[in-house]
Amino acid sequence: MRIRSPGRGDALLVVDVQKDFLSGGALAVPEGDAVIPPLNEAIRVFSQAGFPIFATRDWHPPDHCSFVQQGGLWPPHCVAGTSGAAFPKSLRLPAATVVISKADDPASEAYSGFAGTDLADLLSDRRVERVFVGGLATDYCVLQTVLDARAVDLDVIVLDDAVRAVDVESGDGARAIGRMRAAGAIFASARTALAEG
């Protein structure tokens, strides 16, 4: 299937590419660093064309419900204001990037970039109809963000070389991809999705 290259009405959505999810981080996603080169290419294309770029980030309070100390699944990670919550310098986000902080309510998981944020309104204000999505992790924040994007009738292109899964249970990533496809998301490599013409 041929994918129309980025144009007016499109936005790039970079999901949770934060230090704690990369190698050496508190909750490192296997091969998480591999998402950065294709995302940087997408960032370059969108930035040069003047198309909007959004970057979500976990911005947890220290007592967030997802942390094991509170009965959650995960070690403490991406605590607001800490170095682990920062975007890595290798991710070349331009100054105009719109940063969406999420999961800042201690009682709410908020895996999706749309959960408890104004992302849907900001996309609507910019007349965005299609989002290109990459980031971490396939089976959690990418999955929920894509499902919510489809729920508000956005077309979604997932950059399949710019996502990686946690795979807490073997096959979680593949199952997440199946769910996103079933919801209408299209998968393509960054090179294919960003191609001219």
pLDDT higher than threshold 90 for residue 49: yes
**Catalytic site residue 121?**
no
Catalytic residue of the set 102, 139, 148, 161: 102
**Catalytic site residue 16?**
yes
For the chain, list the domains and their CATH numbers. Answer: 10-193 (3.40.50.850)
User: Span 17-29, mean pLDDT?
Assistant: 98
Span 102-157, pLDDT tens digits: 999 999 999 999 999 999 999 999 999 999 999 999 999 999 999 999 999 999 99
Catalytic residue of the set 10, 16, 148, 161: 16
Predicted local distance difference test score (pLDDT) of residue 1? 65
Predicted local distance difference test score (pLDDT) of residue 2? 80
Span 150-179, pLDDT tens digits: 999 999 999 999 999 999 999 999 999 999
Span 57-72, pLDDT tens digits: 999 999 999 999 999 9
The span from the CA of 12 to the CA of 123, in Å, is: 10
pLDDT higher than threshold 60 for residue 20: yes
**Catalytic site residue 65?**
no
Predicted local distance difference test score (pLDDT) of residue 197? 45
pLDDT higher than threshold 80 for residue 196: no
